[in-house]
Amino acid sequence: MAKDTVLTPKTETKPKVEKPRLYKIMLHNDDYTPREFVTIVLKVVFRMSEETGNRVMLTAHRFGTAVVVVCTREIAETKVTEAMDLAKEAGMPLLFTAEPEE
Ligand code: TYC
């Protein structure tokens, strides 16, 4: 290496791995869907126990909405579609939505 070569330190390259944005799946209350049906959907689609499903269902029943789970957008879309398909098949107005977390 020549004597007068100037060595400049490499600028550090930080890996840019963006955290995936997370989505909340919301359960909405309505006046028609039977409580038992809501709990069944929560058990089947979201793999909740009877106890947890009941608790989430009652939260929506009392307060209007309940957070079901926080997950990536892809999973949220799949789960909302699965849950809504079950509701539609049964002729229930039950509503699940997904919204980005702040
Ligand atoms: N409010 C409904 C009833 O009294 C039960 C229900 C609970 C419906 C939660 C939707 O997200 C819901 N039959």
pLDDT tier at 2, thresholds 50, 70, 90:
low
Q: Are 17 and 90 in contact (CB under 8 A)?
A: no
- CA proximity to 91, closest of 43, 37, 27, 35: 37
Protein residues with CB under 6 Å of any ligand 1 atom: 27-31, 33-35, 38, 57, 60-61, 94
pTM of the model: 0.84
For atom 13 of ligand 1, the residue with the nearest CA is: 34
Q: Identify each DSSP E strand in 1-102 by its residue range.
A: 22-28, 65-72, 95-100
Angstrom distances, CA of residue 11 to CA of 5, 7, 8, 15, 16: 18, 12, 9, 13, 15
> Residue 27 has which token pair?
């359960």
Q: What number of other Cβ atoms are within 10 A of residue 23's Cβ?
A: 22
**Residue 102 clears pLDDT 90, i.e. is over it:** no
Q: How far apart are CA 25 and CA 77, in angstroms?
A: 9
Ligand 1: centre distance to CA 24 (Å) = 19
Q: Write the pLDDT tens digit of every residue in 45-97.
A: 999 999 999 999 999 999 999 999 999 999 999 999 999 999 999 999 999 99
Q: What number of other Cβ atoms are within 10 A of residue 34's Cβ?
A: 11
